[in-house]
Structure 1
């Protein structure tokens, strides 16, 4: 049974948010990868209306131009932000056809049935609006790291429903045009191994784990090999599955 996103981050959101604020550069590549597909649309319309779901602490907006109209939503009160509303990922608080692009980064694996989210996204997007989803891939080393190591030490367990080709099949081709689906590199970056450990401990709310335990797990699951040069940036291997789609016009059909 996958725990509810809102409930998970009611407990973990504060620790997660502090980690993101303390080391804002750690997941920079993830956010860049999430907004990459929007480049052409942003060039054509600098005032693009972009929704960020789930938004956590609104981290995504710092990787978007200042000209865009940002609309973040998170179904959990744990981040102590004003983005929280009493609805879930299946009932997004956006008006019909009010969003030009919707980005979802690293949250959908906490949702076992993603079709209601897809339906809500389709309703909120304008025709030809873009959906960019980035999350852990089913069966990947990242999934094992989260479900096994993080799940053992975060006090709540971790059982994700991760993305893969079966998720793409849930995107009804009468409603969505799939532009791309595949793995992308999103390596986390740190100034030291100590910073890596502190960040992981906070982001995942790990309890009773030493730096050695974290580094051993990262090496075992993610094939992490840190340089001996103390002045070299530490990269933690991290790859995610990205699905990019456009909402079809009502009259469009797959040929």
Structure 2
């Protein structure tokens, strides 16, 4: 298991650059988790780990300033990409600097496999949620093509390596229960990351995953070995990805 703060302190700027250049590439992935939050005007939402604010940006696209988003991110340099409109907390996910029962929603997209203790984070999410609040989380499932890609090519071609502790089937539900929450659902969902063309796909993945040891052509070859890519008649490239999505309610 690698150190989250060290890894994203080193390559978080590349991740943020990928999101800035192609902000809609993972739009389906993001919408799938936001749909589980039952968002409404006036709620306070914690995004953790927030990275450069990708999920927060999606929330504000839907609701503008009618919701409050708090971005919790352990790596200060990574958090530098978060829009100034959001409140930022740079702190460990196991010790979030918020009072008990102070937020309506917690969302966590694709960051759990970096954490030394998933349960400690889930317990913190439960602590800061108000009664009736919702926690939605999604991450890579062990043994799937995304898991093989991350712990394979990403591990080999990034300066920081990648040793992700991916979710096992049923683990998300167990984590919710162990944190004292009532699970609603857990489901493995496949979707696509979408790009205007094939070079954009390679450029995005090179930056998002910090593949500094590979050129774009090598990145594309590694993608083709493990992941499915579809190119339509207009040249738009769609790469298949999948995550386990789940949500739970605080009694």
Which shows bigger deviation, 204-213 or 102-111?
Answer: 204-213
User: Which residue is 1:33 aligned to?
Assistant: 32
What is the Cα-based RMSD across aligned positions, in Å?
1.7
Which shows bigger deviation, 128-137 or 158-167?
Answer: 158-167
User: Which residue is 2:238 aligned to?
Assistant: 235
CA distance in 2: counterparts of 1:127 and 1:33, whole angstroms: 23
User: Which residue is 1:252 aligned to?
Assistant: none
Spell out, residue by residue over 1:217-246, the C-alpha distance to the aligned partner (whole angstroms, 9 max, x if none): 22221122434x3x2421110111111111
CA distance in 1: counterparts of 2:81 and 2:200, whole angstroms: 25
User: Which residue is 2:85 aligned to?
Assistant: none
Spell out, residue by residue over 1:84-125, the C-alpha distance to the aligned partner (whole angstroms, 9 max, x if none): 52x311111221111101000111110132111011001100
How far does residue 173 in structure 1 lie from its aligned partner after superposition? 5.9
**Counterpart among 223, 230, 254 of residue 228 in structure 2:** 223
Q: Is the 8 Å Cα contact of residues 77 and 84 (structure 1) preserved in structure 2?
A: no
Number of paired residues?
A: 240
Q: What TM-score results when the alignment is normalised by the length of structure 2?
A: 0.90
Q: Is the 8 Å Cα contact of residues 12 and 78 (structure 1) preserved in structure 2?
A: no
Gaps of 5+ in 2: 83-87
User: Which residue is 2:247 aligned to?
Assistant: 244
Gaps of 5+ in 1: 249-255
Query: Helix, strand or coil for the counterpart of 1:237?
Result: strand
The 5 Å alignment of 1:150-161 reads: 150-161=154-165
How far does residue 205 in structure 1 lie from its aligned partner after superposition? 1.2
User: Which residue is 1:253 aligned to?
Assistant: none
Spell out, residue by residue over 1:123-160, the C-alpha distance to the aligned partner (whole angstroms, 9 max, x if none): 10001110000111111110000000110000121111
User: Which residue is 1:132 aligned to?
Assistant: 136
Distance 1:117 1:174, change over 3 A: closer
Q: Is the 8 Å Cα contact of residues 219 and 225 (structure 1) preserved in structure 2?
A: no
CA distance in 1: counterparts of 2:195 and 2:133, whole angstroms: 35
How far does residue 247 in structure 1 lie from its aligned partner after superposition? 1.1
Spell out, residue by residue over 1:56-107, the C-alpha distance to the aligned partner (whole angstroms, 9 max, x if none): 121222322121111111110122257352x311111221111101000111
CA distance in 1: counterparts of 2:199 and 2:155, whole angstroms: 21
Query: Helix, strand or coil for the counterpart of 1:172?
Result: helix
Which shows bigger deviation, 217-226 or 166-175?
Answer: 166-175
**Counterpart among 159, 163, 166 of residue 167 in structure 2:** 163
Q: Is the 8 Å Cα contact of residues 198 and 235 (structure 2) preserved in structure 1?
A: no
CA distance in 2: counterparts of 1:108 and 1:24, whole angstroms: 22
CA distance in 2: counterparts of 1:155 and 1:84, whole angstroms: 27
CA distance in 1: counterparts of 2:156 and 2:235, whole angstroms: 31
